[in-house]
Amino acid sequence: MGVVLIAAVALPFLGAVLAWRYRWHDIGVLSSVLAFGAVAALPFGRGDLWWHEVHFAWAPGIHLDFALAVDGVSWPLAMLTALLGVLCCVHNARSGEPTLTALLLAVQGASTAVFLSENLVLFFIAFEAVLLPMWAVVYRYGDERTRRRAAAKFALFTIAGSLLMATGLFAAIADAGTADLGDIIAAGGVSERLSLTVFVLLALGFAVKAPLWPLHSWLPDAHTAAPTVGSVLLAGVLLKLGTYGLIRVAGGIAPDGAAEAAPVLAVLGAIGIVVASLVCLGQAEIKRLIAYSSVGHMGFVVLAFATGTEAGIRAALFANLAHGLITPLLFFLAGALKDRTRTGQLAELGGLRLAAPALAGVLGFASLASLGLPGLAGFWGEAFTVYAAADRGGPWLGLAVAAALGAFLTAAYLLRMLKYVSHGQPTPAVVGIKGASTAELAIWSPLVAATLLLGLVPGPLLDLFATGVL
Amino acid sequence: METQAIDHAALLPLYLAAATAAAALFAGRFAKAAAMAGLAASGSAAVWLAFGPTRETFAVGEWHSFAADDASMGLAALFAGITVLVAAISGSRESEYFFLLAISASGGIALASSRDLITLIVALETLTVPLYLLVAKPGRAGAEAGVTFLIASITASSTALMGAALLYAAGGSVHFAALSEDLDGADTRLVAAGTALLLGGLAFKLAAAPLHSWAPLVLERAPLPIATYLASASKLGGAVAVVWVVHFALAPSAGTVAGIVLAGIAVASIAVGNVGALVQRRTVGVLAWSGIAHAGYVLAPLGALSAATGRDGEAAAASAALAYAVFFVLMEAGAFASLTSMREHDGGAIADLGGLFRAAPRASTVFVIAVIGLAGLPPALAGTFAKIAVLEWLASSAVWLAVVVVAGAVVGLAYYLPLARTVLVSRGGEGAKDRYGLAVLAIGAALVAVSLAPQAVLEFTSFSQ
Amino acid sequence: MTFFAWALVALPAAAGLAGLMLRRREHAAWLGVGAPAAALVCAVAAGFANPVTAFALADFGSVRVFAALDLSPTAVAVAVASAAVSMLVQLYSVAYLRDDPRYVPFTAQVNLFCAAMLLVVAADDLVFLLIGWEVMGACSYLLIAHYANLPEAPGSAAKAFLVTRFGDVGFVLGVMVLGVSAGTFRVSEIGEVSSGVATASMLLILFGCVGKSAQFPLQVWLPPAMAGPTPVSALIHAATMVAAGAYVLARLLPVWPPELLIVVAIVAAVGMVGAGLCAFAATDVKGVLAWSTISQVGFMFAAVAVSAADTALFHLLAHAAFKALLFLTAGVVIHMAATDGSFRTTRLRPGSSPLAFWSMTIGLAAMVGLPPLGGFYSKEAVLGAASEAATAAGVVVFWAGVVGSIITAAYSARLWLLLFWRGGAEARHATPRPEAIGLWTLSIGTVGVGVLYFAGPLRLPALHLDLMALMLIASAGGLYLVGDSWWRDRARDPSRLLGRTRGLFAEGVYGDAVATSTARSAARVATGAARLLDEQLVDRTVVEGSARATVAAARWTEAGHRGGLVGYLRISVAGTLLVAVVAIGVSLWA
């Protein structure tokens, strides 16, 4: 199965090169589908701790091995990446340029490599490899007025974060004498003396990516300026790199530091939840609103992780994945809406329910999912964030209250958005727009189905997380 | 007086380089071919020696002045290789041009093997002096560049000599190995002053602050091939000199002082170079200023010696610095060589790079790879490995310096990205050239090779104790 | 038998989800009526075995969530009522919304609503219950916003969802605190928890239930919710959402610290009396009914406050029957009068539609509590339980209940008189068959629900003849007051009895207006502060400020290097000396 593991990482890159070279969409779609198949095949014949591993020496001088491995924590995220990769490629094949498909595949490949790499140096390289293609997506295909600033901001924030993270990683490698993630975790992380330093550096890096308030300010700009597929990958995949790193890598290799720094993380997470929700409540543009909502949702993930309890970590992983399904769906919908109406200003929208019922229906579904409606994927992670915080007791109860209040505010701003967009009589911008096409529905439906499925049957995924190397 | 046995095999690369210089002077029309062939032979000899056992010669007692170990020979090959590249992109020139170039290269080759202060400084001067003539293009601007470089170089050399003299006074020897033991009990003030002056002077070659500001001025006005040489081989010379002095001579007994001096120089270089590059409008300007920052990254690992102790730490610091220097020099050579290939006279403004990706796909691809590598980002992995090499060491020794390097790299991205972006996306590109295809391809291939197999570089730059 | 338990929830849920994708009206109608009917069958079938079933839904390590159903006899009774009302509402809607373009999603949403309520009724796990609890809120949002060309509909819908969700902030926290302490979310397994936890969690859960049941102080969402179609109002008020709060409170009664029940009692008392007064002053048919719901749910809370869970459920069932009947009849009446339901324009003759007249009469009589209708028994049971409980809470709810009964009689009588006895057009109206079936069935149910008092699963206090008499006197007093006012001056609304406070109560004591404007300004201030912090301080000042500072430093550096050779030498010499001095200094110091 090692070949499959390599294929899961290599196929998108191969597809990217071919799609770019021959300017042909179908080859991109094909490679993303094959990569999806490879990731989907990984659970077969799996081992106990790591399901599968491959390991080749690359540059021992800098502790770099080409080492991939997959387990119950990384597989769902790899799966999510592959799914979004397919959807984005299909979406782009309908309208966009082959170069964009190539860039999307490059992002997909690098992100998959991040999730699957077992060597910390390889992890860093893959983490860095995401930057350029994503920057190019925003810069080249973004919204005409804002793309330059947004792309630059994204790139600078990201590299600052990833290099700080690298410093933390290397300090850990020097301390542990190995760059093998599994070995370091098995050894209980780095020595206690260094733990806090390592964790702070790693957390800073991942907090930029996740993003954790107040290191988030690149996100609204980048998500708003990016083309639809770019926003989808940003929200669905790139943010996950940060949270995955925080939970798996930072939490795994510096558990003592994590415990020490937890209160700070938790407070920032809670502030993020509340502040982002309030900002959303006053937001006038639909994509920016959705973008800001990510800050709030990721606040839940960080808060849940910071509790350090078993329930908290599972809730964090679950909320992470759920956000990766719901917010991309929202971005797809916002993109479809903006393509049709040529505006994202809430004040200029209205009556979508009458003009394009299916679009409005899916938008309503996605909004309900995003506000954490029980029975849909968004609920479990966020509700059990409250549980985990309450479980810690004492001052953490205050954070639990903030989280619960944040969930209420989330409902408030999403309903406000729906009130503008869906209800009332169609505005001039909305009158006469096309309904959702079959192709669009086909792109959205996997996300809708997965959101519903995870909401109704969260057990298997949680059990999967429980088997992970943490 | 006893005549000592000289190991002529160890000197083979140097002999070949010197012979090349002489041959070029007399080869007339074939000077370029002769220079390239001779230096290639010299490089090959160095590689051959690198695979053999370590040779040492010019002994005084137990200390040798000249060593042909893996690192020296690898660097000698690199000096030779880069000089070949520079010769290849130089177009048709008079034979003196190639003569001077080969002289300079032989200085670099000697430098790599030198193990005492005198040999080192002489080799460094041999590397530098021919450049006084080469940097000066006809005309007022060229003359100004030449004069600036001359005076700057002399100032630096005298500073370095002063430092060397003070160290000699303190330690009573000029041999690195001897100094490494003798400085231990010496007058700390003398050692400190000597170290500061010596390293400050050597930092000139690397264009590190505070002796940095000649670089933008000279690189911008020198002919592009010579700028290539100055930015790559000449800087490699500076880096090697600093690493040699620190690693072989100063680290064991004066490591803390050297570390403090170098940390200061590194931080200053990173700060000045990066912010200076941020507002440049011309391509060479950006590369020249950013080169100052990279000099800072090269020195930063040695700066960490101020904190770390122990033989392992010294070796790791020197290895990291040297590995970074090698990766950096290759990328810098790639950037300048491909720019030379695309631009007729000078680097031009950044905006002039627009559309080159369509007009000159081969050279511009190498340029983009080199620039992305300088920014340290995949897919140009050479730069990423360089960053990893430095940060891995700094993270385990001086986290604050690592943070400085990180901050520098962040600012760096702000000016490297526009360079790459302009080449790839912007319009324009009329009248672009795509010359010296083979040479550009060769340096491109070298970059790809070290990206795929970084261990090759990491191995010959590693000092094991 | 567990099959029926699962099918009870799953069938309407599946029908609801599938219905969202339907296009044809007939299919939607069949599915709409069929799913609650199937659920009804399942509920009845489950009633024979009272299955209990559970499997682990989510394992969070330290605690597990179970998909657990417990169809106790009381749960079955409530489930039957919910399913039956839902079915009748669906049937009624076939005719009521015959010209509505958005009928298809409407039926699907009603089915989801029904499924959610059945889940709340049947669930034995608080987190599992929460699924139904909040899906219900979401469905209420969708249904209230049904009419696209009603400008206030979206706002009312959002208000309904948000106010209940505001309550749910408390509910979720309460459930989680309880779960942390008890180690389980299973209602049947929550054993002894410390009194501090019980106090905190139950007060928080009460807040959620107050929101769901539209009790004081979160009653503000219910009257505007009338913007939805009338069948939706029937659904929300009679057997689902509003009742759910009281139901959950009743189920969790064992966890309540007894001394804390006074809080419930106060909520109930304010609801019974205050909402009754608002109902008496309301200016339209549905407004009266809406406020009456709050007042009647107050009676359920009152029963909970005196630890009489089954009594609360008994009143819930009786209320379900007569309130559904009243709303559906109100829909028919408003249709006939072709108005918006305002008292100024809506008037009918009893003869115009005997069915509507008698349905309304029976429903109102049940609400007043006239024997032998269901409402009589249930109210008597509440007052009986209150008088039996020798607690402060008992005293409070008993007297509030008596006053509430007087007011109930008064507003019911007023509604009846204003609707039917002010003349009106002579025309006769036929009621469409699906609507008629609903009215007939519910009328029978309203009359017959009292049977539960004598033969049912509920443990109720014995009849007290003295209380019966007191209640009848109270009701009669209320009727007399209104009747007297009516006979004196038929042209004037009996609500003039309230005097100057009439306007105040007609506006719901301005609760809605105050809450709305408070929420708006709070939101504006908080949003402004957050944006100031986030966009101005973090983004503009710190992030972009640092970028600006870097560029400024860059320009400054550049300018400093323009000196040519001399400038170069100055920098070099100064720098080298500085380095040397520092090095010497440090080496001396060290």
Query: Which residue, A126, A134, A128, A129, is CA-closest to A103?
Result: A134
Q: Judge if B371 and B230 occupy the same domain.
A: yes
Q: Judge if C495 and C563 occupy the same domain.
A: no
Segments forming the whole domain that contains residue C538: 518-589
SS3 B279: coil
How far apart CA A36 and CA A451 sit, in angstroms, is 18
* Predicted local distance difference test score (pLDDT) of residue B1: 43
Q: Judge if C478 and C536 occupy the same domain.
A: no
Q: Judge if B67 and B34 occupy the same domain.
A: yes
Q: How far is B3 from chain A (nearest CA, A)?
A: 42
Give me C478's structure tokens: 């209320």
Q: How far is B172 from chain C (nearest CA, A)?
A: 19
How far apart CA C296 and CA C460 sit, in angstroms, is 18
Residue type, C377: Y
How far apart CA A454 and CA A79 sit, in angstroms, is 14
Q: How many other CB atoms are found less than 10 A from the CB of residue A146?
A: 16
Q: Nearest-CA residue of chain C relative to B149? A: C565
Residue type, C156: S
Residues contacting C579, CB < 8 A, separation 6+: B196, B199, B200, B210, B261, B264, B265
Residues contacting B61, CB < 8 A, separation 6+: none
Q: Judge if C283 and C424 occupy the same domain.
A: yes
* Predicted local distance difference test score (pLDDT) of residue C172: 92
Cβ within 8 Å, pair C572-B152: yes
Give me C384's structure tokens: 């009986």
How far apart CA B112 and CA A408 sit, in angstroms, is 68
Query: Which residue, B287, B282, B397, is CA-closest to B349?
Result: B282
In a domain, B64, yes or no: yes
Q: Is A407 on the interface with C (CB under 8 A)?
A: yes
From C506, C532, C551, give the residue that closes a domain: C506
How far apart CA B368 and CA B424 sit, in angstroms, is 8
Helices (H), A226-309: 228-233, 239-244, 251-253, 255-281, 286-307
In a domain, B221, yes or no: yes
In a domain, C409, yes or no: yes
SS3 A55: strand
Query: Which residue, B382, B400, B379, B378, is CA-closest to B391?
Result: B400
Q: Judge if B120 and B81 occupy the same domain.
A: no
- In angstroms, what CA-CA distances link C297 with B114, B279, C122, C244? 96, 72, 20, 10
**In chain C, which residues have their Cβ closer than 8 Å to the Cβ of B199?**
579
Q: How far is C59 from chain A (nearest CA, A)?
A: 6
In a domain, B404, yes or no: yes
Q: Is C62 on the interface with A (CB under 8 A)?
A: yes
Cβ within 8 Å, pair A132-B379: yes
**In chain B, which residues have their Cβ closer than 8 Å to the Cβ of A152?**
414, 417
Q: Judge if B17 and B121 occupy the same domain.
A: no
Rg, chain A, Cα only? 21
In a domain, B36, yes or no: yes
Residues contacting B208, CB < 8 A, separation 6+: B238, B265, B266, B268, B269, B292, B295, B296, B298, B299
Cβ within 8 Å, pair A64-B388: yes
Cβ within 8 Å, pair A62-B414: no
Q: Judge if B251 and B352 occupy the same domain.
A: yes
Intervals of chain C under pLDDT 70: 590
Q: DSSP assignment, residue B231?
A: I
Interface subset of A 173-192, CB within 8 angstroms of B: 173-175
Partner residues linked to B66 by β-bridges? B57, B114
Q: Judge if B108 and B249 occupy the same domain.
A: no
In a domain, C528, yes or no: yes
How far apart CA B400 and CA A34 sit, in angstroms, is 45
Cβ within 8 Å, pair B392-A155: no
Cβ within 8 Å, pair C583-B278: no
Mutate to test the interface with B, among A65, A66, A125, A165 (most CBs of B within 10 A): A125
Segments forming the whole domain that contains residue B353: 114-460
Q: Judge if B274 and B134 occupy the same domain.
A: yes
Q: How far is C582 from chain B (nearest CA, A)?
A: 8
Q: Where are the domains of chain A?
A: 1-129, 150-466
Cβ within 8 Å, pair A310-C61: yes
In tens digits, chain A (470 residues) has pLDDT values of: 788 999 999 999 999 999 888 888 888 899 999 999 999 998 888 888 888 889 999 988 889 999 999 998 999 999 999 999 999 999 998 877 888 999 999 999 999 999 999 999 999 999 999 999 999 999 989 888 888 889 999 999 999 999 999 999 999 998 888 889 989 998 888 888 889 999 999 999 999 998 898 899 899 999 989 999 999 999 999 999 999 999 999 998 999 999 999 999 999 999 999 999 999 988 889 999 999 999 999 999 999 999 989 899 999 999 999 999 999 999 999 999 988 888 888 888 888 888 888 899 999 999 999 998 998 998 999 999 999 999 888 899 999 999 999 999 999 999 999 988 888 888 888 888 888 888 899 999 999 999 999 999 998 999 988 888 77
**In chain B, which residues have their Cβ closer than 8 Å to the Cβ of A197?**
399
Instruction: Tell me the count of B-C CB pairs closer than 8 A.
Output: 102
From B79, B113, B147, give the residue that closes a domain: B113
From B113, B132, B162, give the residue that closes a domain: B113
Q: Nearest-CA residue of chain B relative to C584? A: B192
Helices (H), B52-94: 70-88
Planar angle of CA C140, C143, C147, nearest 5 degrees? 145
Intervals of chain B under pLDDT 70: 1-4, 308-311, 429, 431, 464-465
Domains identified in chain B, total number: 2
Q: How far is B270 from chain C (nearest CA, A)?
A: 12
The whole-model pTM stands at 0.93
Q: What is the DSSP string of C196-220?
A: HHHHHHHHHHHHHHHHHTT-TTSGG
Cβ within 8 Å, pair C580-B193: yes
Q: Judge if C459 and C312 occupy the same domain.
A: yes
**In chain A, which residues have their Cβ closer than 8 Å to the Cβ of B462?**
61
Neighbour subunits, C (≥3 Cβ pairs < 8 A): A, B
Given C58, C528, C535, which is nearest A380 (Cβ)?
C58
Q: Judge if C316 and C446 occupy the same domain.
A: yes
* Predicted local distance difference test score (pLDDT) of residue A144: 87
From C444, C475, C506, give the residue that closes a domain: C506
In a domain, B259, yes or no: yes
Q: Judge if C275 and C345 occupy the same domain.
A: yes
Residues contacting B341, CB < 8 A, separation 6+: B89, B360, B363, B433, B434, B435, B436, B437, B439, B440
Q: Nearest-CA residue of chain A relative to B411? A: A156
Cβ within 8 Å, pair A59-B396: no
**Is there a contact between A168 and A200 (Cβ–Cβ < 8 Å)?**
yes
In a domain, B186, yes or no: yes
**Is there a contact between A363 and A421 (Cβ–Cβ < 8 Å)?**
yes
Given B147, B192, B265, which is nearest C584 (Cβ)?
B192
Residue type, C196: G
Q: What ipTM is given for this predicted complex?
A: 0.92
From B83, B113, B143, give the residue that closes a domain: B113
**pLDDT tens across A316-330, in order?**
999 999 999 999 999
In a domain, B465, yes or no: no
Cβ within 8 Å, pair C550-B193: no
In a domain, B400, yes or no: yes
Our measurement of the distance from residue B50's CA atom to the centroid of its chain's CA atoms, rounded to an integer in Å, reads 20
Domains identified in chain C, total number: 2
Q: What is the DSSP string of A97-129?
A: -HHHHHHHHHHHHHHHHHHHB-BHHHHHHHHHH
Strand pairing class (A64-70; A52-59): antiparallel
Q: Tokens 């009743």 identify what position?
A: C250
Interface subset of A 142-181, CB within 8 angstroms of C: 153, 156
Interface subset of A 66-105, CB within 8 angstroms of C: none
In a domain, C395, yes or no: yes
Q: Judge if C381 and C425 occupy the same domain.
A: yes
Instruction: Tell me the count of A-B CB pairs closer than 8 A.
Output: 104
